[in-house]
A and B are shown apart, each in its own frame.
Chain A
Amino acid sequence: MTIPTKSPLTRRSLIAGAGLAGAGLLLPGCDRLDQSPAFRETLRLGERVTMGAQRLVSDRTALAREYDGGDISPIFRSNGTRMPGTPDYAAWLAGGFADWRLAVDGMVARPLSLSLAQLGAMPVREQTTRHDCVEGWSAIGRWTGTPLKLLLDAAGVRNTARYLIFHCADLYGARPYYESIDMIDALHPQTILAWALNGRMLPVGNGAPLRLRVERQLGYKQAKYITRIEAVATLATSYGGKGGLWEDTNDYEWYAGI
Protein backbone atom coordinates (compact mmCIF):
# COMPACT_ATOMS: atom_id res chain seq x y z
CA MET A 1 0.00 0.00 0.00
CA THR A 2 1.28 3.43 -0.89
CA ILE A 3 0.84 6.55 1.10
CA PRO A 4 -0.90 9.23 -0.96
CA THR A 5 1.46 12.12 -1.62
CA LYS A 6 -1.29 14.66 -2.10
CA SER A 7 -3.96 15.15 0.50
CA PRO A 8 -7.45 15.87 -0.77
CA LEU A 9 -7.30 19.16 1.07
CA THR A 10 -4.52 20.56 -1.11
CA ARG A 11 -6.22 19.30 -4.23
CA ARG A 12 -9.44 20.83 -3.03
CA SER A 13 -7.83 24.20 -2.34
CA LEU A 14 -6.07 23.96 -5.69
CA ILE A 15 -9.33 23.56 -7.55
CA ALA A 16 -11.07 26.27 -5.54
CA GLY A 17 -8.08 28.57 -5.91
CA ALA A 18 -7.95 28.02 -9.66
CA GLY A 19 -11.64 28.79 -9.93
CA LEU A 20 -11.37 32.02 -7.97
CA ALA A 21 -8.25 33.12 -9.80
CA GLY A 22 -9.93 32.35 -13.11
CA ALA A 23 -12.92 34.52 -12.28
CA GLY A 24 -10.80 37.33 -10.87
CA LEU A 25 -8.38 37.40 -13.78
CA LEU A 26 -10.95 37.01 -16.52
CA LEU A 27 -11.88 40.65 -16.93
CA PRO A 28 -8.54 42.46 -16.70
CA GLY A 29 -7.10 39.44 -18.50
CA CYS A 30 -9.38 39.95 -21.49
CA ASP A 31 -8.54 43.64 -21.64
CA ARG A 32 -4.84 42.83 -21.49
CA LEU A 33 -5.20 40.19 -24.19
CA ASP A 34 -6.91 42.79 -26.35
CA GLN A 35 -3.76 44.96 -26.12
CA SER A 36 -1.71 42.24 -27.76
CA PRO A 37 -1.54 42.62 -31.56
CA ALA A 38 -0.91 38.88 -31.92
CA PHE A 39 -4.06 38.06 -29.95
CA ARG A 40 -6.10 40.53 -31.98
CA GLU A 41 -4.80 38.95 -35.16
CA THR A 42 -5.91 35.58 -33.82
CA LEU A 43 -9.41 36.87 -33.10
CA ARG A 44 -9.46 38.40 -36.57
CA LEU A 45 -9.25 34.88 -37.98
CA GLY A 46 -12.93 34.76 -37.11
CA GLU A 47 -13.69 37.35 -39.80
CA ARG A 48 -11.92 35.31 -42.46
CA VAL A 49 -13.52 32.03 -41.39
CA THR A 50 -16.96 33.68 -41.25
CA MET A 51 -16.55 35.27 -44.68
CA GLY A 52 -15.37 31.98 -46.16
CA ALA A 53 -18.22 30.04 -44.54
CA GLN A 54 -20.89 32.57 -45.52
CA ARG A 55 -19.64 32.72 -49.10
CA LEU A 56 -19.55 28.91 -49.14
CA VAL A 57 -23.23 28.54 -48.19
CA SER A 58 -24.39 31.54 -50.27
CA ASP A 59 -25.28 31.48 -53.89
CA ARG A 60 -23.46 34.43 -55.46
CA THR A 61 -26.76 35.86 -56.59
CA ALA A 62 -28.75 34.95 -53.45
CA LEU A 63 -30.99 37.96 -52.85
CA ALA A 64 -31.52 39.85 -49.64
CA ARG A 65 -35.13 39.84 -48.44
CA GLU A 66 -37.28 42.41 -50.25
CA TYR A 67 -40.22 43.77 -48.29
CA ASP A 68 -43.66 45.18 -49.03
CA GLY A 69 -44.39 48.88 -48.96
CA GLY A 70 -46.24 48.40 -45.66
CA ASP A 71 -43.00 47.31 -43.96
CA ILE A 72 -41.23 50.60 -44.71
CA SER A 73 -39.96 52.30 -41.53
CA PRO A 74 -41.87 55.54 -40.76
CA ILE A 75 -38.54 57.26 -40.14
CA PHE A 76 -35.39 55.92 -41.77
CA ARG A 77 -32.74 56.66 -39.18
CA SER A 78 -29.85 58.76 -40.40
CA ASN A 79 -26.56 57.70 -38.87
CA GLY A 80 -22.90 58.69 -39.11
CA THR A 81 -22.54 61.90 -41.09
CA ARG A 82 -25.88 63.71 -41.37
CA MET A 83 -24.56 66.75 -43.24
CA PRO A 84 -21.13 66.84 -44.88
CA GLY A 85 -19.81 70.25 -43.93
CA THR A 86 -17.31 70.76 -46.77
CA PRO A 87 -17.46 73.84 -49.06
CA ASP A 88 -17.65 71.57 -52.13
CA TYR A 89 -20.66 69.76 -50.74
CA ALA A 90 -22.37 73.00 -49.70
CA ALA A 91 -21.96 74.31 -53.26
CA TRP A 92 -23.35 71.10 -54.80
CA LEU A 93 -26.28 71.14 -52.42
CA ALA A 94 -27.04 74.81 -53.15
CA GLY A 95 -27.10 74.04 -56.87
CA GLY A 96 -29.34 70.99 -56.51
CA PHE A 97 -26.37 68.73 -57.37
CA ALA A 98 -26.40 70.00 -60.98
CA ASP A 99 -22.60 70.46 -60.84
CA TRP A 100 -21.97 67.21 -58.96
CA ARG A 101 -20.28 64.41 -60.92
CA LEU A 102 -19.59 60.75 -60.21
CA ALA A 103 -16.17 59.59 -61.40
CA VAL A 104 -15.58 55.93 -62.24
CA ASP A 105 -11.87 55.33 -62.71
CA GLY A 106 -8.85 53.32 -61.64
CA MET A 107 -8.44 49.96 -63.38
CA VAL A 108 -11.01 50.63 -66.08
CA ALA A 109 -10.74 50.88 -69.88
CA ARG A 110 -12.99 53.97 -70.15
CA PRO A 111 -13.07 56.32 -67.13
CA LEU A 112 -16.51 57.88 -66.68
CA SER A 113 -17.77 61.17 -65.34
CA LEU A 114 -21.52 61.13 -64.88
CA SER A 115 -24.03 63.73 -63.79
CA LEU A 116 -27.04 62.86 -61.65
CA ALA A 117 -29.23 63.33 -64.74
CA GLN A 118 -27.12 60.85 -66.72
CA LEU A 119 -27.37 58.31 -63.91
CA GLY A 120 -31.13 58.85 -63.77
CA ALA A 121 -31.40 58.16 -67.49
CA MET A 122 -29.86 54.71 -67.07
CA PRO A 123 -31.93 51.59 -66.34
CA VAL A 124 -33.22 51.62 -62.78
CA ARG A 125 -33.61 49.04 -60.05
CA GLU A 126 -36.01 49.58 -57.18
CA GLN A 127 -35.82 47.46 -54.00
CA THR A 128 -37.41 47.64 -50.57
CA THR A 129 -34.76 46.27 -48.28
CA ARG A 130 -33.64 46.26 -44.66
CA HIS A 131 -30.68 48.31 -43.50
CA ASP A 132 -28.91 46.68 -40.54
CA CYS A 133 -26.65 48.88 -38.49
CA VAL A 134 -23.68 47.22 -36.80
CA GLU A 135 -25.09 48.70 -33.57
CA GLY A 136 -28.12 46.44 -33.81
CA TRP A 137 -31.04 48.48 -35.14
CA SER A 138 -32.72 47.99 -38.53
CA ALA A 139 -34.74 50.22 -40.84
CA ILE A 140 -36.59 49.33 -44.02
CA GLY A 141 -36.62 51.67 -47.00
CA ARG A 142 -37.39 51.61 -50.73
CA TRP A 143 -34.28 52.42 -52.73
CA THR A 144 -34.16 53.48 -56.36
CA GLY A 145 -30.88 53.55 -58.20
CA THR A 146 -28.52 52.38 -60.88
CA PRO A 147 -27.26 48.78 -60.78
CA LEU A 148 -23.53 49.03 -60.15
CA LYS A 149 -22.84 46.34 -62.75
CA LEU A 150 -24.15 48.62 -65.52
CA LEU A 151 -21.59 51.29 -64.60
CA LEU A 152 -18.79 48.75 -64.36
CA ASP A 153 -19.70 47.36 -67.79
CA ALA A 154 -19.84 50.87 -69.28
CA ALA A 155 -16.43 51.72 -67.82
CA GLY A 156 -14.92 48.38 -68.83
CA VAL A 157 -13.47 47.26 -65.50
CA ARG A 158 -10.30 45.24 -66.06
CA ASN A 159 -10.48 41.68 -64.85
CA THR A 160 -7.37 42.23 -62.72
CA ALA A 161 -9.36 44.67 -60.54
CA ARG A 162 -10.37 42.96 -57.31
CA TYR A 163 -12.03 45.72 -55.27
CA LEU A 164 -14.01 48.90 -55.72
CA ILE A 165 -13.24 51.83 -53.46
CA PHE A 166 -16.06 54.31 -52.86
CA HIS A 167 -14.67 57.77 -52.16
CA CYS A 168 -17.11 60.01 -50.31
CA ALA A 169 -17.67 63.75 -49.91
CA ASP A 170 -18.04 63.67 -46.14
CA LEU A 171 -15.37 63.90 -43.50
CA TYR A 172 -15.85 61.83 -40.38
CA GLY A 173 -13.81 63.48 -37.72
CA ALA A 174 -11.08 64.93 -39.91
CA ARG A 175 -10.86 61.96 -42.25
CA PRO A 176 -12.64 61.42 -45.56
CA TYR A 177 -15.16 58.58 -45.43
CA TYR A 178 -14.57 55.71 -47.78
CA GLU A 179 -15.60 52.10 -48.11
CA SER A 180 -14.81 49.16 -50.37
CA ILE A 181 -16.33 45.91 -51.59
CA ASP A 182 -15.05 43.03 -53.67
CA MET A 183 -16.25 42.02 -57.13
CA ILE A 184 -18.62 39.35 -55.82
CA ASP A 185 -20.67 42.00 -54.05
CA ALA A 186 -20.08 44.59 -56.80
CA LEU A 187 -21.71 42.39 -59.42
CA HIS A 188 -24.60 41.25 -57.18
CA PRO A 189 -27.97 42.12 -58.75
CA GLN A 190 -29.10 44.08 -55.66
CA THR A 191 -25.95 46.18 -55.46
CA ILE A 192 -27.07 49.60 -56.65
CA LEU A 193 -26.06 53.24 -56.44
CA ALA A 194 -29.22 54.66 -54.93
CA TRP A 195 -30.33 58.21 -55.67
CA ALA A 196 -33.85 57.97 -54.21
CA LEU A 197 -35.32 56.77 -50.91
CA ASN A 198 -39.03 55.99 -50.51
CA GLY A 199 -39.87 57.64 -53.84
CA ARG A 200 -38.09 60.94 -53.16
CA MET A 201 -34.64 62.16 -54.11
CA LEU A 202 -32.16 60.96 -51.49
CA PRO A 203 -32.25 63.24 -48.39
CA VAL A 204 -28.96 64.74 -47.23
CA GLY A 205 -29.09 62.72 -44.01
CA ASN A 206 -29.22 59.49 -46.00
CA GLY A 207 -26.36 60.31 -48.40
CA ALA A 208 -27.52 62.72 -51.15
CA PRO A 209 -27.05 62.62 -53.98
CA LEU A 210 -25.75 59.05 -54.26
CA ARG A 211 -25.12 56.17 -51.86
CA LEU A 212 -24.19 52.53 -52.12
CA ARG A 213 -26.61 49.72 -51.31
CA VAL A 214 -24.80 46.43 -50.80
CA GLU A 215 -27.63 44.50 -49.26
CA ARG A 216 -25.81 41.49 -47.80
CA GLN A 217 -23.62 43.58 -45.50
CA LEU A 218 -24.05 45.88 -42.51
CA GLY A 219 -24.76 49.61 -42.54
CA TYR A 220 -21.24 50.99 -42.40
CA LYS A 221 -20.52 49.42 -45.80
CA GLN A 222 -23.35 51.46 -47.39
CA ALA A 223 -21.18 54.46 -48.27
CA LYS A 224 -23.02 57.80 -48.52
CA TYR A 225 -22.18 60.99 -50.48
CA ILE A 226 -20.23 59.03 -53.10
CA THR A 227 -18.17 61.11 -55.56
CA ARG A 228 -15.79 58.56 -57.02
CA ILE A 229 -15.62 54.82 -57.60
CA GLU A 230 -12.11 53.50 -58.08
CA ALA A 231 -11.31 49.98 -59.29
CA VAL A 232 -8.16 48.66 -57.61
CA ALA A 233 -6.15 45.46 -57.28
CA THR A 234 -5.41 45.96 -53.58
CA LEU A 235 -6.83 47.92 -50.66
CA ALA A 236 -3.48 48.15 -48.91
CA THR A 237 -2.29 51.32 -50.69
CA SER A 238 -5.37 53.50 -50.16
CA TYR A 239 -6.02 55.57 -47.05
CA GLY A 240 -5.24 53.48 -43.93
CA GLY A 241 -5.06 50.29 -45.97
CA LYS A 242 -7.92 48.35 -44.37
CA GLY A 243 -10.58 49.20 -46.94
CA GLY A 244 -12.78 51.62 -45.04
CA LEU A 245 -12.81 54.48 -42.57
CA TRP A 246 -14.30 52.39 -39.73
CA GLU A 247 -11.92 49.58 -40.54
CA ASP A 248 -8.93 51.98 -40.42
CA THR A 249 -9.88 53.99 -37.36
CA ASN A 250 -11.93 51.66 -35.15
CA ASP A 251 -10.83 48.18 -36.15
CA TYR A 252 -14.19 47.11 -37.56
CA GLU A 253 -14.19 44.10 -39.86
CA TRP A 254 -13.86 44.73 -43.57
CA TYR A 255 -16.30 41.89 -44.22
CA ALA A 256 -19.53 42.95 -42.56
CA GLY A 257 -21.82 40.06 -43.50
CA ILE A 258 -22.69 39.44 -39.82
Chain B
Amino acid sequence: MATRIRTDSVTDGRPLVKRHGWPVRVWHWINAVVVIVMLMSGLMIFNAHGRLYWGQSGANTDAAWLEIGSTADAGYLQLGSVRVPTTGVLGYWRNGEGVVQRRAFPGWATIPTAYSLSAARRWHLFFAWLLVVPGLLFWLWSVVGGHARALLPMRTELAPRHVWADIRNHARLRFPAGQAALKYNILQKLSYSGVVFGLLPLLVLTGLAMSPAMNAAWPWLLDLFGGRQSARSLHFIAMVLLAAFIVVHLLMVVLAGPYNEIRSMVTGRFRLPAERADAKAEEVA
Protein backbone atom coordinates (compact mmCIF):
# COMPACT_ATOMS: atom_id res chain seq x y z
CA MET B 1 0.00 0.00 0.00
CA ALA B 2 1.27 3.45 -0.93
CA THR B 3 2.08 5.57 2.07
CA ARG B 4 3.39 8.61 0.23
CA ILE B 5 2.80 11.61 2.38
CA ARG B 6 1.12 14.55 0.69
CA THR B 7 3.07 17.47 2.04
CA ASP B 8 0.49 19.96 0.76
CA SER B 9 -2.10 18.87 3.28
CA VAL B 10 -0.29 18.65 6.53
CA THR B 11 -2.34 19.85 9.49
CA ASP B 12 -0.47 20.44 12.74
CA GLY B 13 2.24 18.09 11.58
CA ARG B 14 -0.30 15.35 10.94
CA PRO B 15 -0.13 14.50 7.25
CA LEU B 16 -3.06 13.24 5.17
CA VAL B 17 -1.85 9.96 3.72
CA LYS B 18 -3.19 7.35 1.35
CA ARG B 19 -4.43 4.50 3.49
CA HIS B 20 -6.93 2.25 1.67
CA GLY B 21 -6.79 1.18 -1.99
CA TRP B 22 -9.94 1.29 -4.10
CA PRO B 23 -10.63 -2.48 -4.01
CA VAL B 24 -10.69 -2.38 -0.21
CA ARG B 25 -13.02 0.63 -0.19
CA VAL B 26 -15.39 -0.66 -2.88
CA TRP B 27 -15.62 -4.11 -1.31
CA HIS B 28 -16.08 -2.64 2.15
CA TRP B 29 -19.13 -0.59 1.13
CA ILE B 30 -20.64 -3.37 -0.99
CA ASN B 31 -20.39 -5.62 2.06
CA ALA B 32 -21.71 -2.96 4.41
CA VAL B 33 -25.01 -3.29 2.53
CA VAL B 34 -24.87 -6.95 1.51
CA VAL B 35 -23.88 -8.36 4.90
CA ILE B 36 -26.62 -6.41 6.70
CA VAL B 37 -29.22 -7.67 4.20
CA MET B 38 -27.88 -11.22 4.55
CA LEU B 39 -28.01 -11.03 8.35
CA MET B 40 -31.52 -9.62 8.52
CA SER B 41 -33.05 -11.83 5.83
CA GLY B 42 -31.24 -14.79 7.41
CA LEU B 43 -32.90 -14.07 10.76
CA MET B 44 -36.27 -14.18 9.00
CA ILE B 45 -35.39 -17.53 7.41
CA PHE B 46 -34.49 -18.80 10.89
CA ASN B 47 -37.93 -17.65 12.05
CA ALA B 48 -39.47 -20.41 9.92
CA HIS B 49 -37.93 -23.01 12.24
CA GLY B 50 -36.40 -21.63 15.43
CA ARG B 51 -34.48 -24.76 16.40
CA LEU B 52 -30.91 -25.91 15.70
CA TYR B 53 -29.58 -29.46 15.64
CA TRP B 54 -26.31 -31.34 15.21
CA GLY B 55 -25.93 -34.10 12.63
CA GLN B 56 -27.50 -35.05 9.32
CA SER B 57 -31.15 -34.53 10.20
CA GLY B 58 -33.35 -32.89 12.82
CA ALA B 59 -36.97 -31.81 13.18
CA ASN B 60 -39.45 -30.97 15.92
CA THR B 61 -39.34 -34.32 17.71
CA ASP B 62 -35.52 -34.45 17.70
CA ALA B 63 -33.32 -32.88 20.38
CA ALA B 64 -32.32 -29.29 19.60
CA TRP B 65 -29.18 -27.69 21.09
CA LEU B 66 -30.67 -24.23 20.63
CA GLU B 67 -34.28 -23.18 20.52
CA ILE B 68 -35.98 -19.82 20.49
CA GLY B 69 -39.58 -20.40 21.49
CA SER B 70 -42.44 -19.24 23.63
CA THR B 71 -44.71 -20.39 26.42
CA ALA B 72 -48.25 -19.05 26.84
CA ASP B 73 -47.05 -15.57 27.79
CA ALA B 74 -43.25 -15.48 27.59
CA GLY B 75 -40.39 -15.86 25.15
CA TYR B 76 -37.26 -17.87 25.84
CA LEU B 77 -33.95 -18.94 24.41
CA GLN B 78 -33.07 -22.49 25.34
CA LEU B 79 -29.38 -23.35 25.09
CA GLY B 80 -28.88 -26.96 26.10
CA SER B 81 -30.38 -27.13 29.58
CA VAL B 82 -30.15 -23.38 30.20
CA ARG B 83 -33.28 -21.33 29.59
CA VAL B 84 -32.94 -17.55 29.23
CA PRO B 85 -36.09 -15.42 29.41
CA THR B 86 -36.32 -13.22 26.29
CA THR B 87 -39.88 -11.90 26.45
CA GLY B 88 -40.26 -8.78 24.34
CA VAL B 89 -37.26 -9.52 22.15
CA LEU B 90 -37.04 -13.19 21.14
CA GLY B 91 -39.85 -15.72 20.80
CA TYR B 92 -42.58 -13.46 22.20
CA TRP B 93 -42.80 -9.83 21.12
CA ARG B 94 -45.26 -7.33 19.73
CA ASN B 95 -45.33 -6.04 16.17
CA GLY B 96 -45.93 -2.41 15.15
CA GLU B 97 -49.67 -2.84 15.74
CA GLY B 98 -49.09 -4.22 19.22
CA VAL B 99 -50.10 -7.77 18.27
CA VAL B 100 -48.17 -10.56 20.00
CA GLN B 101 -45.86 -12.47 17.65
CA ARG B 102 -44.23 -15.77 18.49
CA ARG B 103 -41.51 -15.93 15.84
CA ALA B 104 -37.91 -16.11 17.05
CA PHE B 105 -36.54 -12.74 15.90
CA PRO B 106 -38.58 -9.52 16.09
CA GLY B 107 -39.66 -7.49 13.07
CA TRP B 108 -37.12 -4.72 13.61
CA ALA B 109 -34.32 -7.25 13.10
CA THR B 110 -35.62 -9.01 10.00
CA ILE B 111 -36.12 -8.48 6.28
CA PRO B 112 -38.98 -8.26 5.60
CA THR B 113 -40.52 -6.92 8.82
CA ALA B 114 -43.61 -9.16 8.75
CA TYR B 115 -43.21 -12.92 8.54
CA SER B 116 -42.49 -14.15 5.01
CA LEU B 117 -40.12 -17.02 4.43
CA SER B 118 -40.41 -16.75 0.65
CA ALA B 119 -39.59 -13.02 0.61
CA ALA B 120 -36.65 -13.52 2.98
CA ARG B 121 -35.32 -16.33 0.77
CA ARG B 122 -35.62 -14.10 -2.29
CA TRP B 123 -33.52 -11.41 -0.58
CA HIS B 124 -31.05 -13.86 0.91
CA LEU B 125 -30.44 -15.94 -2.19
CA PHE B 126 -30.07 -12.87 -4.44
CA PHE B 127 -27.71 -10.99 -2.12
CA ALA B 128 -25.75 -14.21 -1.60
CA TRP B 129 -24.42 -13.70 -5.13
CA LEU B 130 -23.39 -10.13 -4.26
CA LEU B 131 -21.47 -11.59 -1.34
CA VAL B 132 -19.83 -14.42 -3.27
CA VAL B 133 -18.83 -12.78 -6.57
CA PRO B 134 -17.20 -9.59 -5.20
CA GLY B 135 -15.78 -11.72 -2.37
CA LEU B 136 -14.01 -14.05 -4.79
CA LEU B 137 -12.68 -11.05 -6.75
CA PHE B 138 -11.43 -9.48 -3.52
CA TRP B 139 -9.74 -12.72 -2.54
CA LEU B 140 -8.06 -12.91 -5.92
CA TRP B 141 -6.89 -9.30 -5.66
CA SER B 142 -5.70 -9.84 -2.09
CA VAL B 143 -3.61 -12.84 -2.97
CA VAL B 144 -2.25 -11.56 -6.29
CA GLY B 145 -1.91 -7.92 -5.23
CA GLY B 146 -0.33 -8.65 -1.86
CA HIS B 147 -3.10 -7.25 0.35
CA ALA B 148 -3.36 -10.66 2.02
CA ARG B 149 0.15 -10.07 3.39
CA ALA B 150 -1.02 -6.84 5.02
CA LEU B 151 -3.96 -8.70 6.57
CA LEU B 152 -2.33 -11.91 7.74
CA PRO B 153 -0.41 -11.76 11.03
CA MET B 154 3.36 -12.23 11.02
CA ARG B 155 4.79 -14.90 13.27
CA THR B 156 6.41 -12.38 15.62
CA GLU B 157 3.10 -10.55 16.03
CA LEU B 158 1.48 -13.73 17.26
CA ALA B 159 3.77 -13.92 20.29
CA PRO B 160 1.51 -13.87 23.37
CA ARG B 161 3.47 -10.90 24.79
CA HIS B 162 2.81 -8.84 21.66
CA VAL B 163 -0.89 -9.80 21.49
CA TRP B 164 -1.32 -9.06 25.20
CA ALA B 165 0.33 -5.66 24.83
CA ASP B 166 -2.05 -4.83 21.98
CA ILE B 167 -5.06 -5.95 24.00
CA ARG B 168 -3.92 -3.66 26.83
CA ASN B 169 -3.44 -0.76 24.44
CA HIS B 170 -6.93 -1.29 23.00
CA ALA B 171 -8.47 -1.56 26.46
CA ARG B 172 -6.88 1.75 27.40
CA LEU B 173 -8.01 3.21 24.07
CA ARG B 174 -4.40 3.86 23.07
CA PHE B 175 -4.55 3.36 19.35
CA PRO B 176 -1.50 3.28 17.10
CA ALA B 177 -0.22 6.71 16.14
CA GLY B 178 2.27 8.03 13.64
CA GLN B 179 3.70 5.54 11.16
CA ALA B 180 2.34 2.60 13.20
CA ALA B 181 -1.20 3.70 12.29
CA LEU B 182 -0.46 2.92 8.64
CA LYS B 183 -0.38 -0.78 9.35
CA TYR B 184 -2.99 -3.06 10.83
CA ASN B 185 -2.20 -3.96 14.42
CA ILE B 186 -2.38 -7.59 15.49
CA LEU B 187 -5.96 -7.43 16.81
CA GLN B 188 -7.08 -5.83 13.55
CA LYS B 189 -5.18 -8.44 11.56
CA LEU B 190 -6.70 -11.30 13.52
CA SER B 191 -10.25 -9.97 13.26
CA TYR B 192 -10.09 -8.78 9.64
CA SER B 193 -8.36 -11.89 8.31
CA GLY B 194 -10.64 -14.00 10.50
CA VAL B 195 -13.65 -12.45 8.80
CA VAL B 196 -12.28 -12.32 5.25
CA PHE B 197 -10.63 -15.73 5.17
CA GLY B 198 -12.60 -17.47 7.94
CA LEU B 199 -16.14 -16.40 8.72
CA LEU B 200 -17.24 -15.30 5.23
CA PRO B 201 -16.11 -18.50 3.45
CA LEU B 202 -17.54 -20.54 6.33
CA LEU B 203 -20.90 -18.78 5.91
CA VAL B 204 -20.91 -19.41 2.15
CA LEU B 205 -19.87 -23.05 2.41
CA THR B 206 -22.27 -23.89 5.24
CA GLY B 207 -24.97 -22.13 3.22
CA LEU B 208 -24.19 -24.30 0.21
CA ALA B 209 -24.10 -27.38 2.46
CA MET B 210 -27.78 -26.77 3.24
CA SER B 211 -28.66 -27.02 -0.46
CA PRO B 212 -29.94 -30.46 -1.49
CA ALA B 213 -28.72 -29.84 -5.05
CA MET B 214 -25.23 -28.93 -3.84
CA ASN B 215 -25.20 -31.98 -1.56
CA ALA B 216 -25.53 -34.11 -4.69
CA ALA B 217 -23.03 -32.05 -6.70
CA TRP B 218 -20.43 -31.67 -3.94
CA PRO B 219 -21.04 -34.45 -1.38
CA TRP B 220 -17.84 -33.43 0.46
CA LEU B 221 -19.74 -30.44 1.84
CA LEU B 222 -21.80 -32.78 4.04
CA ASP B 223 -18.69 -34.59 5.23
CA LEU B 224 -16.83 -31.34 5.89
CA PHE B 225 -19.50 -30.03 8.27
CA GLY B 226 -20.87 -33.32 9.61
CA GLY B 227 -24.29 -33.17 8.01
CA ARG B 228 -26.89 -30.70 6.83
CA GLN B 229 -28.23 -29.77 10.25
CA SER B 230 -24.69 -29.28 11.60
CA ALA B 231 -24.06 -27.00 8.63
CA ARG B 232 -27.20 -25.03 9.53
CA SER B 233 -25.99 -24.72 13.14
CA LEU B 234 -22.51 -23.61 12.05
CA HIS B 235 -24.10 -21.12 9.62
CA PHE B 236 -25.98 -19.64 12.59
CA ILE B 237 -22.91 -19.56 14.86
CA ALA B 238 -20.82 -17.90 12.15
CA MET B 239 -23.62 -15.34 11.72
CA VAL B 240 -23.52 -14.54 15.45
CA LEU B 241 -19.73 -14.11 15.31
CA LEU B 242 -20.01 -11.86 12.25
CA ALA B 243 -22.67 -9.75 13.98
CA ALA B 244 -20.37 -9.47 17.01
CA PHE B 245 -17.52 -8.39 14.73
CA ILE B 246 -19.70 -5.66 13.21
CA VAL B 247 -20.63 -4.31 16.65
CA VAL B 248 -17.00 -4.21 17.82
CA HIS B 249 -15.86 -2.83 14.45
CA LEU B 250 -18.35 0.06 14.62
CA LEU B 251 -17.40 0.70 18.24
CA MET B 252 -13.72 0.90 17.32
CA VAL B 253 -14.47 3.28 14.45
CA VAL B 254 -16.28 5.57 16.86
CA LEU B 255 -13.52 5.36 19.49
CA ALA B 256 -10.68 5.82 17.01
CA GLY B 257 -12.27 8.91 15.45
CA PRO B 258 -15.23 8.28 13.15
CA TYR B 259 -14.61 11.17 10.76
CA ASN B 260 -11.02 10.22 9.97
CA GLU B 261 -11.83 6.49 9.86
CA ILE B 262 -14.88 6.83 7.62
CA ARG B 263 -13.07 9.30 5.35
CA SER B 264 -10.23 6.81 4.94
CA MET B 265 -12.72 4.19 3.80
CA VAL B 266 -14.52 6.64 1.46
CA THR B 267 -11.72 8.67 -0.12
CA GLY B 268 -8.85 6.43 0.90
CA ARG B 269 -7.08 9.30 2.72
CA PHE B 270 -6.30 9.11 6.40
CA ARG B 271 -5.02 11.86 8.73
CA LEU B 272 -2.11 10.29 10.53
CA PRO B 273 -2.63 10.56 14.31
CA ALA B 274 0.18 12.43 16.07
CA GLU B 275 2.86 10.43 17.83
CA ARG B 276 2.32 10.36 21.54
CA ALA B 277 5.21 11.40 23.73
CA ASP B 278 5.14 8.04 25.47
CA ALA B 279 4.56 6.04 22.31
CA LYS B 280 8.04 4.58 22.22
CA ALA B 281 7.69 3.24 25.72
CA GLU B 282 4.47 1.44 24.79
CA GLU B 283 5.93 -0.26 21.78
CA VAL B 284 6.77 -3.90 22.02
CA ALA B 285 9.61 -5.01 19.79
Q: Is the interface of B mostly helix, strand, loop or mixed?
A: helix
Residues of B within 8 A of A132 (CB): 210, 212, 228
State whether A43 touches B126 (Cβ < 8 A).
Answer: yes
Which residues 213-258 of A sit at the B interface, judged by CB distance below 8 A? 215-218, 246, 250-253, 257-258
State whether A44 touches B49 (Cβ < 8 A).
Answer: no
State whether B60 touches A137 (Cβ < 8 A).
Answer: yes
State whether B49 touches A258 (Cβ < 8 A).
Answer: no
Minimum distance in angstroms from A8 CB to a CB of chain B: 7
- A26-B36, A138-B59 known; A31-B216 Cβ under 8 A: no
Bound state CA distance, A246 and B116, in angstroms?
Answer: 12
Partner of B46, one of A26, A28, A136: A136
Bound state CA distance, A133 and B53, in angstroms?
Answer: 14
State whether B259 touches A217 (Cβ < 8 A).
Answer: no
Residues of B within 8 A of A137 (CB): 49, 51, 53, 58-60, 229
**Does residue B129 face the partner (Cβ distance < 8 Å to A)?**
yes
Number of residues on chain B facing chain A (CB within 8 A): 52
Minimum distance in angstroms from B225 CB to a CB of chain A: 13
Residues of B within 8 A of A58 (CB): 213, 216-217
Among the stretches B106-114, B158-166, B168-176, the one at the interface with A is B106-114
**Does residue B125 face the partner (Cβ distance < 8 Å to A)?**
yes
Residues of B within 8 A of A250 (CB): 118
- A136-B48, A250-B118 known; A73-B62 Cβ under 8 A: yes
Residues of B within 8 A of A27 (CB): 108, 111, 113
Q: How many A-B residue pairs have CB under 8 A?
A: 146
State whether A16 touches B258 (Cβ < 8 A).
Answer: yes
State whether A65 touches B219 (Cβ < 8 A).
Answer: yes
Residues of B within 8 A of A8 (CB): 259
Q: What string of 1s and 0s marks CB contacts (under 8 Å) between B83-121 and chain A? A: 000000000000000000000000010011110011101
Residues of A within 8 A of B56 (CB): 67, 71, 130, 138, 140
Residues of B within 8 A of A50 (CB): 125, 129
**Does residue B128 face the partner (Cβ distance < 8 Å to A)?**
yes
Minimum distance in angstroms from A194 CB to a CB of chain B: 16
State whether B118 touches A138 (Cβ < 8 A).
Answer: no
Residues of A within 8 A of B211 (CB): 54, 257-258
Minimum distance in angstroms from B187 CB to a CB of chain A: 24
Minimum distance in angstroms from A71 CB to a CB of chain B: 6
Most chain A CB neighbours (cut-off 10 Å) among B48, B128, B214, B262: B214
Residues of B within 8 A of A130 (CB): 56-57, 212, 215, 228
Bound state CA distance, A43 and B126, in angstroms?
Answer: 6
State whether B215 touches A135 (Cβ < 8 A).
Answer: no
Of chain B, the residue at the smallest CB distance from A134 is: B117
Minimum distance in angstroms from A178 CB to a CB of chain B: 17
Residues of B within 8 A of A140 (CB): 56-57
Partner of A74, one of B61, B119, B122, B228: B61
State whether B259 touches A136 (Cβ < 8 A).
Answer: no
State whether B213 touches A73 (Cβ < 8 A).
Answer: no
Residues of B within 8 A of A47 (CB): 122, 125
State whether B49 touches A64 (Cβ < 8 A).
Answer: no
State whether A34 touches B216 (Cβ < 8 A).
Answer: no
Minimum distance in angstroms from B122 CB to a CB of chain A: 4
Known: A46-B127, A138-B56, A216-B215. 17 other contacts (CB 8 A): A30-B40, A40-B122, A45-B126, A47-B122, A54-B214, A77-B60, A77-B61, A130-B57, A133-B59, A134-B117, A136-B45, A137-B60, A217-B212, A217-B213, A218-B212, A253-B125, A257-B212
Pairs A–B under 8 Å by Cβ, sample size 16: A15-B266, A16-B258, A19-B262, A30-B40, A31-B112, A43-B126, A46-B125, A74-B62, A134-B121, A137-B49, A137-B51, A137-B229, A215-B212, A252-B118, A257-B212, A258-B125
**Top 4 nearest A-B pairs by Cβ distance?**
A257-B213, A46-B126, A258-B211, A136-B49
Residues of A within 8 A of B (CB): 8, 12, 15-16, 19, 26-28, 30-31, 34, 40, 42-47, 49-50, 54, 57-59, 62-65, 67, 71, 73-75, 77, 130, 132-140, 215-218, 246, 250-253, 257-258
